[in-house]
Structure 1
Amino acid sequence: MRLVLLLAALCVSGACLGQTPAPTFSDYPAAVRRTGRPVAPKLLPGTAAWYFRTRIREAARQKPNFAGHYVLAAWGCGAECLSSAIIDVETGRVYFDGGSLCCWFSSRLPEKPENFEPIDFRVNSQLVVFTGLLNEEGRNEPHYFAFEGGKLVAVR
């Protein structure tokens, strides 16, 4: 009987299908640190971030909105397409991978759900969720990344 109950509990959680639960923001906590005046972003000519320097400079003036002391900034790169960068407002360092996110309203999401954001993140978490196609390929679904050591690392 216990075995049956255990198997039923696993199936309800998705484990019997080989699925793991989606990561949550609380799974990847970040300490929210008070920062003084934001440091200007360090933008070097010839780098990928240099081409988006106006957007990055504007975003760097904001208070942190991601992973404690970072600003995650996004801007349009075409119809239903976004590029993004992560700016450390304490050091001015810019993390930019040059990737894009697009096509989030497909057969999976035929209508815009209320409060939908293609990039979802929190100031008290290192988790960021990109929903759509990454670099216009792969599966159109949520993609989970943790910001660790200056890089977005896929999780799940």
Structure 2
Amino acid sequence: MGKNTIFIIYSLFSAAALAAPQIIKTNHIKNIEPSKSNNKTSTTLSFTTNKSKKFKSIIAFNSKKPANFANHYILITWGCGTDFHEFAIVNKDDGKVFTDRKIDFVVGVMGNDEPRIEFKTNSHMITINGKINDKTEGKFFYNWNGTNLTLTKTKKLEKKFIEQTRNK
């Protein structure tokens, strides 16, 4: 398979993942008013971090979609096909691409089936469920202020363990 074919297949899977509804189950989210610009698709993107430059193709491809986060932003997630996730936030108004320097990636935790990255169109809140950078495990609540993510709360992850039975 050629590189272009692999990229197209990867992009299609990423697009399907983004089409799935993103639901956040916390009661302290402040809703915000919808923007008239949340469907804007013609902004030139500004890739300023090494990570955004490295994943320029997947970010550019998915940035053409309608805003799905904090009114006029699009939160783009991608991974390698396992329970490994990375993300970027794109401002639909000015094209600035944000990647967090403290959160390189998020991986799942055995026994926890919550979505790894949760967000809503009309909220500034992002919830991360799993291990950040494969080190710190928990349920992390972040507030987006337009330029930075600020950790506002941390909780222990809920885990469900299933007892294995042996065939004797």
Q: TM-score, normalised by structure 1?
A: 0.71
Give, in angstroms, the shift of residue 41 of structure 1. 1.6
Equivalent pair of 2:71/2:122 in contact (CA under 8 Å) = yes
- With over 3 angstroms needed to count, the CA separation of the structure-2 counterparts of 1:68 and 1:53, relative to structure 1, is same
User: 1:25, 1:119 → 2: CA distance?
Assistant: 17
The correspondence for 2:141, drawn from 127, 140, 144, is 144
User: 1:120, 1:48 → 2: CA distance?
Assistant: 21
Residue number in structure 1 paired with 2:53 = 50
The correspondence for 1:24, drawn from 2, 26, 43, is 26
- With over 3 angstroms needed to count, the CA separation of the structure-2 counterparts of 1:58 and 1:26, relative to structure 1, is farther
User: 1:151, 1:30 → 2: CA distance?
Assistant: 18
| CA-to-aligned-CA distance 1:83-122 (integer Å, 9 cap, x gap) | 1000001100011125100023x14x2xx4xxx4211100
User: 2:99, 2:30 → 1: CA distance?
Assistant: 21
Q: TM-score, normalised by structure 2?
A: 0.67
Structure number with bigger Rg: 1
CA RMSD, Structure 1 to Structure 2 (Å): 2.1
Equivalent pair of 1:40/1:57 in contact (CA under 8 Å) = no
Give % identity: 21
Equivalent pair of 1:69/1:89 in contact (CA under 8 Å) = yes
Q: Please tell me whether residue 72 in structure 1 is matched to residue 69 in structure 2.
A: no
| Corresponding pairs, count | 125
Q: Spell out the pairing of 1:4-153 with structure 2 (5 A cutoff).
A: 24=26, 27-35=29-37, 37-38=40-41, 39-44=43-48, 47-77=50-80, 79-98=82-101, 99-104=104-109, 106-107=110-111, 109=112, 112=113, 116-139=114-137, 141-153=138-150
Q: Which is bigger in relative contact order (C-alpha 8 A, separation at least 6)?
A: 1
Amino acid of the structure 2 residue aligned with 1:42: S
User: 1:58, 1:30 → 2: CA distance?
Assistant: 26
Equivalent pair of 2:108/2:116 in contact (CA under 8 Å) = no
Equivalent pair of 1:25/1:127 in contact (CA under 8 Å) = no
User: 2:125, 2:150 → 1: CA distance?
Assistant: 9
Amino acid of the structure 1 residue aligned with 2:68: N
Secondary structure in structure 1 of the residue aligned to 2:62: helix
What are structure 1's unaligned runs of at least 5 residues? 1-22
User: 2:27, 2:44 → 1: CA distance?
Assistant: 28
Amino acid of the structure 2 residue aligned with 1:90: D
Equivalent pair of 2:118/2:126 in contact (CA under 8 Å) = yes
